[in-house]
Structure 1
Amino acid sequence: MKQHIVAAAILAAFSASAAVAQQPTLYVGSYGGSTEKLFKEKIIPAFEAKEKVKVVYVSGNSTDTLAKLQAQKGKQELDVVLLDDGPMYQAVQFGFCDTLKDAPVYKELYPLARLTDKATAVGVVATGLAYNTEAFKKAGLPKPDSWEALADKKLKQKIAIPPISNTYGLQTLVMFAKLRKGSEQSIDPGFTALTKEVGPNVLAWEPSPGKMTELFQNGDISLAVWGSGRVQSLKDTGFPVEFVYPKEGAPALMIAACPVVQSDVPAQAQALVQYLLTPDVQAMLADSQGWGPVNAKTALDTRVSAKVPYGKAQIDKLLPTNWTLVNDKRAEWTNRWNRTVER
């Protein structure tokens, strides 16, 4: 009898370990910092319980994650990736993203969210102006309401703009091209404006969010080009900063997701992308990350809705970037920027 009990216990233990071994594992490549914290503490545990899958989070910025996809071409280890929209269009172009399977949640999204049939936005931030309200008041300057504020000689050496390697800097170049009768196809006027009109006012071409925060806090700058989410994070510390949607329009910067090709857990990869688009998760991403919801059914309280692009009227005003064209020209523009703008 005792032998039967021991045998049964061994069999039960073996079955349990076999079940764990059989549990599928999904690898998601996404941003570090507060995004990683939110995913690990709230989003992933709920998804794991729902889908009976183990999720491994691999953190890195968009460039890092895209580089991983390139390094692992043909034998991908990641199953889902989150990238800024520019790099995501590259990931799609390089063949790293699988086609999105149809699901009811996709019918709830704003039109700008569906980037291609292989990638969807899961959040959106606006690129606009950040200004120190106290510094402007002290200097007797009106609230900046236009991109033209960057060319105001009263702000000489009091401005910071991220470089062209950063989406905010790239979108500034495109905006000034459009303001000076050019476009993505005719970028020369943008370079001329940034070199001659805006450049003399720029103290730093700063890519780092941490350094940008320091420049504001130390009083080195009073105006910057930045994202709505970044500005809200600084404002949450008590610093007197406000985000401005310029009257000529604010470019959209989308945080995008795609299921990766050759995944060994394709159904779970599709399910995670869909899960990130559900109203509950969209509300979490808005509150914690400052990502505007792309699901029109997401309900936010006024505390959260005030700090993100929210609602059809505001989302419809955001300007799209022609990433297919921009990515094709980006290396050429970067060389020119380094020679002329940041010389």
Structure 2
Amino acid sequence: MRKYQIVMSAVAMAGCMTAHAAETIYVGGFGGSTEQIFKEKIIPPFEAKTGAKVIYVSGNSTDTLAKLQAQKGRQEMSLVMIDDGPMYQAIGQGLCAKVEDSGSIKELYPNARMVGDRSVGIGFIATGLAYNKEVFAKNGWAPPTSWLDLADPKFKQKVVIPPITNGYGLLTLVMMSKLHGGDENKMDPGFDVMTKKVAPNVLAWEPSPGKMAQMLQTGEAALAVWGNGRVQAVIDQGAPVEFVYPKEGAVALMSAACVVEGAPQAKLGQQFMQHVVSADSQAVLSASQGWGPVNTNAKLSPDVMKKVVYGPDKVKALVSPNYEVINTKRAEWTSRWNRAVER
């Protein structure tokens, strides 16, 4: 009898261990190279440490947000990683749980803590200017230094900007408003400048990253608005292209994460968030994705430091958009943009 009890206890214990090891968390995130690096470098250490299984569900930010909205009250994903604009929408719709203020969360830059403490940034991206050095040299043009260069008549039909439905086009509009006496609450100055001065210079309102890269590489586009990570990828391919932090400030775009409200594995979701923003994970994402680290303790090689938003000075210099206003006005601005700017 005693021997039987011992055997049964061992079986029960093994069953518990197996159940724990089989605990599964679904994480929504970006596809492409980001998905690859998560599967190769970020997820395996977390699985080894926790014994849990991470299933990565890839999709763009809009698709992931739509899944959260559709599954409200019966969520399948425990954590999602999307762009900061859609993330503010998710927060406003009650889809994100409170961030646990512990572990590596305490090591974040203040502007990586999103309003309301229901999401955190997992990587800084600077939105600024990119230019083809060969085209500029051929024309005797000095390198661009300001957002206002987009309105210079000498760049007629030589500028490429993504549309307003893309974050880069939207942030260009916001900056033009800020530099002409307006802001997110007062967008008439921005629309006026975009319509009368910037739009005549625009060769294409290009939504495709691949096409943007091609136009910069070939010199078809002399000047563009884009993110530093995207530009760095073009530079790494050997193109004569340079990224510029405008003197008025580059605009902060963040990749952001939140634990889903009502998540099936909320505790694991909080742990995975802490793992993603840890100094080690941030160093991996900086080197592979061109995201500036949000963790103040992240250590980067000198080569990577030059390519990303790194250090308190660069982080502090970023201009932070007011997405609480932007998201309430996005549909109205898009309609106005399509009528007046991109025609």
Q: Is this a same-fold pair by TM over 0.5?
A: yes
2:93 aligns with 94
CA displacement at 1:62 relative to structure 2: 0.6
Aligned-partner SS, 1:125: strand
Between the aligned partners of 1:174 and 1:131, the Cα distance in structure 2 is: 21
**Equivalent residues in 2 for 1:176-325, closer than 5 Å:** 176-325=176-325
2:61 aligns with 62
Equivalent residues of 2:159, 2:222 under 8 A apart: yes
Letter in structure 1 aligned against 2:296: A
Between the aligned partners of 1:276 and 1:18, the Cα distance in structure 2 is: 25
Q: Residue by residue, what CA displacement relative to the aligned partner does 1:164-210 show, whole Å, maximum 9, x if unpaired?
A: 11111111001000111111111001001001100001011112111
Q: Residue by residue, what CA displacement relative to the aligned partner does 1:218-241 show, whole Å, maximum 9, x if unpaired?
A: 331111000011001111101111
Q: Residue by residue, what CA displacement relative to the aligned partner does 1:1-50 show, whole Å, maximum 9, x if unpaired?
A: xxxxxxx9xx97x9579816862110010000000000011111111111
Letter in structure 1 aligned against 2:42: I
Letter in structure 1 aligned against 2:333: W
1:113 aligns with 112
Equivalent residues of 2:131, 2:223 under 8 A apart: yes
CA displacement at 1:104 relative to structure 2: 3.1
Equivalent residues of 2:103, 2:274 under 8 A apart: no
**1:129 and 2:135 equivalent?**
no
Aligned-partner SS, 2:226: strand
Between the aligned partners of 2:47 and 2:205, the Cα distance in structure 1 is: 42
**Equivalent residues in 2 for 1:8-27, closer than 5 Å:** 19=18, 23-27=22-26
Aligned-partner SS, 2:224: strand
Between the aligned partners of 2:131 and 2:21, the Cα distance in structure 1 is: 53
CA displacement at 1:153 relative to structure 2: 1.2
Between the aligned partners of 2:292 and 2:62, the Cα distance in structure 1 is: 22
Q: Identity across aligned pairs (percent)?
A: 56
2:341 aligns with 341
Gapped runs of 5+ residues in structure 2?
A: 1-6
Letter in structure 1 aligned against 2:111: L
1:4 aligns with none
2:4 aligns with none
Between the aligned partners of 2:318 and 2:58, the Cα distance in structure 1 is: 28
Aligned-partner SS, 2:263: coil
**1:42 and 2:50 equivalent?**
no
Letter in structure 2 aligned against 1:237: Q
Letter in structure 1 aligned against 2:74: K
Summarize the Cα distance change of 1:24–1:303 in structure 2 as closer, same or farther, 3 Å threshold: same
Between the aligned partners of 1:238 and 1:107, the Cα distance in structure 2 is: 39
Gapped runs of 5+ residues in structure 1?
A: 1-7
Which aligned runs of 4 or more in structure 1 are off by greater than 6 angstroms? none
